[in-house]
């Protein structure tokens, strides 16, 4: 069965069409009544992970720069995600199954993540930070791999150990490459980004990931994913 895709971005676009010419105070009000308030369970989870709406004002000021991309990516999101989910099943050698995906617009906190939502492993894709269909393909494949990994192994999304995190992120990165082949390692680790949140070019971040002073799970994941790039059979659980 194909992936189930809930596209909240279309509701965001309707909100933005109504709010774009309004003063900031009215835009904030319409955000609640015309968008976030329509999906209270989604934004309860989002706020718990990324904080409340203290960043909303800053996000509203940035939406004009990305709303065209949001509109374009949203239009093809269901087909992109369905294809990415099928690739994930093929790489892992498991039945395609029915995955759940939420396509949304957040407040520039994260481009994609996976979590339990209503007790179901769910992928979230935030289009304000996903500039094109290629980046969505990579993120949808990556997060789908996380949800399938959780279902197959019972390892929690945040990883029980550093070893769990290494396997989880390396596996998901390999699935991203299978879904959208032909890019450099840094693109699969930072799809849609030229620089890290700290401003470091992503290629430089990757090159430094193995240095001992950057001794963190994410740095190990980057090194491991680069070393196993293209060896998806070796990363299957």
Q: Could you give the percent of the chain with pLDDT greater than 90?
A: 45
| Residues forming beta bridges with residue 6, ordered by sequence position | 102
Those residues with Cβ within 8 angstroms of residue 53's Cβ, 6 or more apart along the chain or in another chain: 28, 31, 36, 47, 107
Domain region containing 91: 4-235
The model carries a pTM of 0.81
Please write down the long-range contacts of 221-227, taking CB distance under 8 Å and 24 or more positions apart. 221/165, 221/166, 221/169, 221/170, 221/173, 222/185, 222/189, 224/166, 224/169, 224/170, 225/169, 225/170, 225/173, 225/174, 225/185, 225/188, 225/189, 226/185
Q: How far apart are CA 107 and CA 129, in angstroms?
A: 9
Q: How far apart are CA 78 and CA 16, in angstroms?
A: 21
Q: And the tokens for 66? A: 């990305």
Q: Are 192 and 111 in contact (CB under 8 A)?
A: yes
Q: And the tokens for 143? A: 């997060």
Q: How far apart are CA 9 and CA 69, in angstroms?
A: 11
Which one-letter DSSP state was computed for residue 160? S
> Shortest CA distance to 103 belongs to which of 51, 140, 138?
140
DSSP E strand stretches across 97-233: 100-104, 112-117, 120-126
Taking phi over 0 as left and psi of -120 to 50 as alpha, with beta for the rest, 118 belongs to left
Whether residue 31 has pLDDT greater than 60: yes
Q: What is the mean pLDDT of residues 17-32?
A: 97
Q: What is the mean pLDDT of residues 102-108?
A: 97
- Find which of 57-66, 154-163, 167-176 is predicted with most confidence, using mean pLDDT: 57-66
Q: And the tokens for 90? A: 């093929």
* CA distances (Å), origin 63, targets 33, 52, 60, 71, 135: 18, 18, 5, 11, 18
Quote the pLDDT of residue 151. 77
Quote the pLDDT of residue 236. 29
Q: Are 120 and 4 in contact (CB under 8 A)?
A: no
Q: Number of structural domains, the chain?
A: 1
| pLDDT tens digits, one per residue of 196-212 | 777 888 778 777 765 53
């Amino acid at each position: 069965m194909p992936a189930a895709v809930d596209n909240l971005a279309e509701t965001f676009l309707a909100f933005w069409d109504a709010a774009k010419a309004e003063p900031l105070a009215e835009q904030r009000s319409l955000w609640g009544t015309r968008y976030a308030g329509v999906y209270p369970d989604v934004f309860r989870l989002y706020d718990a992970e990324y904080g409340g709406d203290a960043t909303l004002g800053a996000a509203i000021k940035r939406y004009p720069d990305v709303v065209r991309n949001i509109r374009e990516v949203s239009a093809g999101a269901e087909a992109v995600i369905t294809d990415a989910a099928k690739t994930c099943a093929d790489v892992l050698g498991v039945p395609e199954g029915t995955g759940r995906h939420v396509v949304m617009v957040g407040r520039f906190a994260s481009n994609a993540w996976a979590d339990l939502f209503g007790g179901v492993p769910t992928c979230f894709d935030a289009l304000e930070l996903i500039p094109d269909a290629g980046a969505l393909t990579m993120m949808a494949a990556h997060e789908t791999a996380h949800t399938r990994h959780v279902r197959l192994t019972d390892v929690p999304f945040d990883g029980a150990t550093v070893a769990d995190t290494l396997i989880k992120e390396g596996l998901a990165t390999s699935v991203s490459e299978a879904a959208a082949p032909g890019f450099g390692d840094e693109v699969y680790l930072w799809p849609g980004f030229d620089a890290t949140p700290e401003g470091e070019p992503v290629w430089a971040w990757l090159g430094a990931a193995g240095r001992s002073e950057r001794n963190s799970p994410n740095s190990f994941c980057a090194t491991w994913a680069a070393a196993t790039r293209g060896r998806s059979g070796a990363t299957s659980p």
